[in-house]
Amino acid sequence: MATSYRTMPSYCVVRQLVAISSYPYVNFTIRPLSFGVDMVIHSCTKYINGHADVLMGAVMTNSEEISQHLYLIQKNAGSVPSPFDCFLVIRGTKTLHVRMRTHMENAFCVAKFLETHPKVEKVLYPLLESHPQHKIHLKQSRGMSGMISFYIQNDESGEATKEFLSRLKLIHYATSLGTPESLVTRYDPKWEEVPRKGVTPNLVRLSVGLEEKEDIIEDLKQALDSLESDSGVSSLNESENESIYFESL
C-alpha cells in the first residue's frame, strides 16, 4: 500500500512525533523527512546493505533535539553495531543507486508479467496503473523497490500457493528481502489469531533480485504453469525459511 507521506502529519490531531518505517522503500526512491515526518526508521539489513550479511537498523531525523534524545537512548541501552557491520553497510551504500535501479526495473517487468498470467488473481505493485494508490505513489516517489505481492487464483486454502512455491527453481523460499537473490515467502493463517484484511493463504510476497529479469520471469512462469496441469501435494518445506519510471532515476 502506498501511503501519502505529505498529508500524514496533518492527520495527527494532537501531534507529538510522526515516525514511519521506510520499508519497503529507501531514501533513494522517497524522502519522507521532506514531507514533515519527524523520524524515519530504516532496516539497513535489507536494501541499504544489500548483501544479506548484516543485521542493523537506523533512525534518521532532521531535528537536533530528537537526535540528542535518540543518542541518549542508544548510549544507555548499549545498542551499538559492530565496526565491521558499519563497514559493510557503508560499502553497500556505494552501490545502492545501481542496485535499486535494477531491482525496480526487474520488479516492474515481473509485475507486468504476473498481471497477464491466468493463475494470478491480483498483483500489488505501486508502479502498475492497476494499483489503487498508483497516482499517490507517482506524486511522492522516484520509483519503487523490488517488492511485489500477488494472489494465486482460486486458492482459499493456500494449498496451490504452497505447491507453486515448491516448484520454483531459481527463486529461493526465504523470509528476508532486498538481497541480490530473488526471494519468496507466503502467509500462514496460523501465525495470527485474527487474520488481517487482504492477508490470505494465497498471498505471495516476492522480493525481486538482481538476476536477469528473463530468468526470474521464466522461473515464475514454469511454476505457475505447473498449477494448470497438476494439483498434487505440495513438497514445500515450511521450516526453510519499458521503463518510463526509470528514466529520471
Flag the least confident range among 10-24, 115-129, 160-174: 10-24
Residue 209 CA to residue 99 CA, distance in Å, equals 9
- pLDDT tens, residue by residue, 149-168: 999 999 988 999 999 999 99
Q: What one-letter code names the amino acid at 191?
A: W
- 8-93 and 97-229 share one fold: no
Grid coordinates representing 108 are 516492474
The pLDDT of 224-241, averaged and rounded, is: 61
Q: Check whether 208 has a pLDDT greater than 80.
A: yes
Q: Is the dihedral of CA 238, 54, 147, 118 positive or negative?
A: negative
Per-residue confidence (pLDDT) for residue 80, from 0 to 100: 87
State the CATH architecture for 97-229.
Answer: Alpha-Beta Complex (3.90)
Q: How many CA atoms lie within 13 A of 34 on its CB side?
A: 6
Spatial CA neighbour of 118 closest among 152, 89, 145, 84: 152
Across the chain, mean pLDDT equals 84
The pLDDT of 109-116, averaged and rounded, is: 97
Rg, the chain, Cα only: 19
Q: Which residues are within 8 A (CB) of 206 and not within 5 positions of it... i.e. 6 or more apart?
A: 110, 147, 148, 149, 150, 171, 182, 183, 184
Q: Check whether 239 has a pLDDT greater than 50.
A: no
Task: Please state the domain extents for the chain.
Answer: 8-93, 97-229
Indicate the pLDDT class of residue 216, thresholds 50, 70 and 90: very high
CATH of 8-93, one of 3.30.450.20, 2.40.30.110, 3.40.50.1970, 3.40.640.10: 3.40.640.10
pLDDT above 90 covers what percent of the chain? 57
Spatial CA neighbour of 58 closest among 73, 72, 40, 46: 40
> Strands 183-186 and 203-207: what pairing?
antiparallel
- pLDDT tens, residue by residue, 42-88: 999 999 999 999 999 999 999 999 999 999 998 898 878 999 999 99
